[in-house]
């Protein structure tokens, strides 16, 4: 009961572990490339929660700055990945990852 009442570092770690698991599940099981991208975003968010939690309970600024750069990289990654997905759609007429099995049509 004491664990549930006072919010500490462990609570954030548990939430980030659950988000990481869901992201991994999306990457492993889904066939649509866009949903796989959503899984990657979930994993990045889980990593960010961990960075910020450790930063808060350590008192330093390293985790905060690092999470800022993670967000920047996530934006760049999403733009490039969607350009690639649109190219895959132009070439194969589908975004089903299990039917994309050659380098060119």
Partner 1 sequence: MTNTTYTVIFYLFAAITVFSAAFVVFSRNVIYSAFSLLFTFFGVAALYVFLSADFIAVTQIVVYVGGILVLLLFGVMFTNKIMMTDLKTDVLNIVPGLLILVATVGGLIHVFVQRADWLVSADQLQGSVVERIGFETMSRYVLPFEMASILLLLALIGAAFLARFDKAEKNEQ
Binding residues among 41-100 for partner 1 as defined by CB under 8 A: 41-42, 45, 48-49, 52-53, 55-59, 61, 64-65, 67-69, 71-80, 82-87, 89, 95-96, 98
Query: Using CB under 8 A, which residues numbered 21 to 40 contact partner 1?
Result: 21-26, 28-35, 37-39
Compute the residue count for the chain.
Answer: 105
- Give min distance, CB of 102 to partner 1, in A: 18
| Cα–Cα dist 48/53, whole Å | 8
In the bound complex, what is the minimum distance in angstroms from residue 103's beta carbon to partner 1? 15
According to DSSP, residue 59 is labeled: T
Compute the distance between CA of residue 32 and CA of residue 26 in angstroms, rounded to an integer.
Answer: 10
């Amino acid at each position: 009961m004491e664990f549930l009442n006072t919010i500490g570092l462990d609570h954030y770690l548990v939430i980030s572990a659950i988000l990481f698991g869901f992201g991994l599940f999306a990457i492993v099981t889904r066939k649509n490339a866009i949903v796989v991208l959503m899984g990657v975003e979930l994993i990045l968010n889980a990593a960010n929660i961990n960075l910020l939690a450790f930063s808060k309970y350590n008192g330093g600024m390293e985790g905060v700055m690092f999470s800022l750069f993670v967000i920047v990289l996530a934006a760049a990654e999403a733009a490039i990945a969607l350009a690639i997905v649109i190219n895959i759609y132009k070439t194969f007429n589908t975004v089903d990852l299990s039917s994309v099995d050659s380098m060119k049509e």
